[in-house]
Chain A
């Protein structure tokens, strides 16, 4: 094959676009080195490629997305990899206890080091990846605990509060969520578990299959199918299957809302919960207003703007709450 200019031009483009092979690269280097003229051409190509890259980086990189990706890595790392005895707050606490109770406690601490990991969603939603690759979104204030040898034989986690699970399928190692005295066993699926009332636990299954049972009665399993919602009453020791009538059960995670003829007061209550803020409705007839709208991952202020326009509201913000006033609806 005759290797003319066109050949080397293509070779340079291949090089700068990241498609060159090992052979291409050494061939190109040889050609570039062989003549000043080639070096000059290489330089021209390099410049134009840099210019193109500056545009393509602008177009293809979203700094916000990249940041959340990194933040996820950061929280997974700080939360997972730091053993409890390296946690600075715990060190300080241990020092305090030393004064109070003497060496005994420290010795116990050293002899029986805590053998579980504890994840707490302190400020906002915490998204983590467990050692087996399963993903969990913890709602604010939720706590998830699992043993250090998690994923060896079976995958067991303990939950307080609400969380959404996307479980990595693994037939040999069942994934079991304990929430109070309720047990949810899965093979690979995504679902929501949460304490709803004092003695109730709710489970909403998005996809896959899972079984739910009470700690005291492992044989009394209720099988759930996609879109099922189950309510476990701990007091009555009952598991009830109920249709999932709430399209917004996952809004705290997704910030997606669907409102079909929903009372404004209920809308506001949900927004308070999801955006972790306080909203005050004042005006008698405001409670008559009903909303038909859906939102996808929007900020609170843009949702409020829609409400404002729909119901002709006056919205004001103070330091710790949002105030909604208006004539209301008939």
Chain B
């Protein structure tokens, strides 16, 4: 077999997070992004004997994730060509997500900023972003309104944006 299980495991571990990140740029929802990445790897595994993927696994996965994301957006009536164009997602692109993804300095800065947030605001932010709870679920968990969740999230993001400005300049994405 040209594409042994062990090799596949390595491919998975090398590219999984990058693919979730890429999917997230399209679908904006963690669970969906993970599901799509899983499906793409599953498709890769099933096709392992049909195509010579070892050459360019990454482009294969990228294309596969991209198609699945676009289908998802269409199915959920969230497909908007104008916005996708602005986000650089409308045309076939390389998955260059790794650029942001590998910036450890930026990530550390973000973590610092998050820990500076006011308690309530931080709690909402962490539940939504790191624990994958939807606004509605956060509101139920904390006994606050969805509107408040939204306000707190905006507040957190506002603060991050403001303090990340100089870092953002380096990002050409």
A261 to B164, CA, bound (A): 57
Contact A32:B82 (CB < 8 A) given known A19-B135, A56-B129: yes
Contact A51:B168 (CB < 8 A) given known A18-B27, A60-B131, A61-B20: yes
Is B93 positioned at the interface, with any CB of A under 8 Å from its CB?
A: no
Query: When the two chains form their complex, are residues B28 and A45 in contact, meaning their CB atoms are under 8 A apart?
Result: no
Query: When the two chains form their complex, are residues A53 and B24 in contact, meaning their CB atoms are under 8 A apart?
Result: yes
**Could you tell me the distance in whole angstroms from the C-beta of B93 to the nearest C-beta in chain A?**
14
A25 to B81, CA, bound (A): 11
Is B119 positioned at the interface, with any CB of A under 8 Å from its CB?
A: no
Contact A50:B100 (CB < 8 A) given known A10-B154, A14-B150: yes
**Residue from A20, A26, A63 within 8 A of B16 (CB atoms):** A63
Is A311 positioned at the interface, with any CB of B under 8 Å from its CB?
A: no
A111 to B46, CA, bound (A): 29
Q: Name B143-173 residues within 8 Å CB distance of A.
A: 150-151, 153-154, 157-158, 160-161, 164, 167-168, 171, 173
Query: When the two chains form their complex, are residues A56 and B30 in contact, meaning their CB atoms are under 8 A apart?
Result: yes
Query: When the two chains form their complex, are residues B157 and A48 in contact, meaning their CB atoms are under 8 A apart?
Result: yes
CB-CB under 8 A from A9, the residues of chain B are 154, 158
**Could you tell me the distance in whole angstroms from the C-beta of B110 to the nearest C-beta in chain A?**
5
Is A103 positioned at the interface, with any CB of B under 8 Å from its CB?
A: no
CB-CB under 8 A from A32, the residues of chain B are 82-83, 86
A43 to B128, CA, bound (A): 22
**Could you tell me the distance in whole angstroms from the C-beta of A177 to the nearest C-beta in chain B?**
29
CB-CB under 8 A from B34, the residues of chain A are 61, 66
Query: When the two chains form their complex, are residues A45 and B161 in contact, meaning their CB atoms are under 8 A apart?
Result: yes
Query: When the two chains form their complex, are residues B129 and A22 in contact, meaning their CB atoms are under 8 A apart?
Result: no
**What does the 1/0 interface line of A69-94 toward B look like (CB < 8 Å)?**
11101100100000000000000000
- Taking Cβ atoms with an 8 Å cutoff, the residues of A that contact B are 9-10, 13-20, 22, 25-26, 28-29, 32-33, 39, 42-61, 63, 66-67, 69-71, 73-74, 77
A110 to B164, CA, bound (A): 68
Is B67 positioned at the interface, with any CB of A under 8 Å from its CB?
A: no
**Could you tell me the distance in whole angstroms from the C-beta of B43 to the nearest C-beta in chain A?**
11
14 pairs from A and B in contact (CB 8 Å cutoff): A10-B154, A16-B28, A20-B78, A32-B86, A46-B86, A47-B168, A48-B161, A51-B110, A51-B171, A56-B129, A58-B107, A66-B12, A66-B16, A66-B37
A77 to B42, CA, bound (A): 10
Query: When the two chains form their complex, are residues A52 and B110 in contact, meaning their CB atoms are under 8 A apart?
Result: yes
**What does the 1/0 interface line of B32-67 toward A look like (CB < 8 Å)?**
101001100110011000000000000000000000
CB-CB under 8 A from B111, the residues of chain A are 55
A45 to B168, CA, bound (A): 10
A16 to B29, CA, bound (A): 9
A66 to B9, CA, bound (A): 11
CB-CB under 8 A from B80, the residues of chain A are 25-26, 29
Query: When the two chains form their complex, are residues B42 and A74 in contact, meaning their CB atoms are under 8 A apart?
Result: yes
A10 to B147, CA, bound (A): 10
CB-CB under 8 A from A59, the residues of chain B are 129-130
A18 to B25, CA, bound (A): 10
A236 to B21, CA, bound (A): 61
CB-CB under 8 A from A14, the residues of chain B are 150
Q: Name B92-143 residues within 8 Å CB distance of A.
A: 100-101, 103, 106-107, 110-111, 114, 128-132, 134-135
A22 to B42, CA, bound (A): 30
Query: When the two chains form their complex, are residues B134 and A60 in contact, meaning their CB atoms are under 8 A apart?
Result: no
CB-CB under 8 A from B9, the residues of chain A are 67, 71
Query: When the two chains form their complex, are residues B30 and A13 in contact, meaning their CB atoms are under 8 A apart?
Result: no
**Could you tell me the distance in whole angstroms from the C-beta of B80 to the nearest C-beta in chain A?**
5
**Could you tell me the distance in whole angstroms from the C-beta of B155 to the nearest C-beta in chain A?**
10
**Residue from B32, B41, B131, B157 within 8 A of A13 (CB atoms):** B157
A57 to B129, CA, bound (A): 9
Closest to A26 in B: B80
Closest to B171 in A: A47
Closest to A28 in B: B83
Q: Name B5-25 residues within 8 Å CB distance of A.
A: 9, 12-13, 16-17, 20-21, 24-25
A324 to B34, CA, bound (A): 44
A17 to B167, CA, bound (A): 21
Query: When the two chains form their complex, are residues B27 and A70 in contact, meaning their CB atoms are under 8 A apart?
Result: no
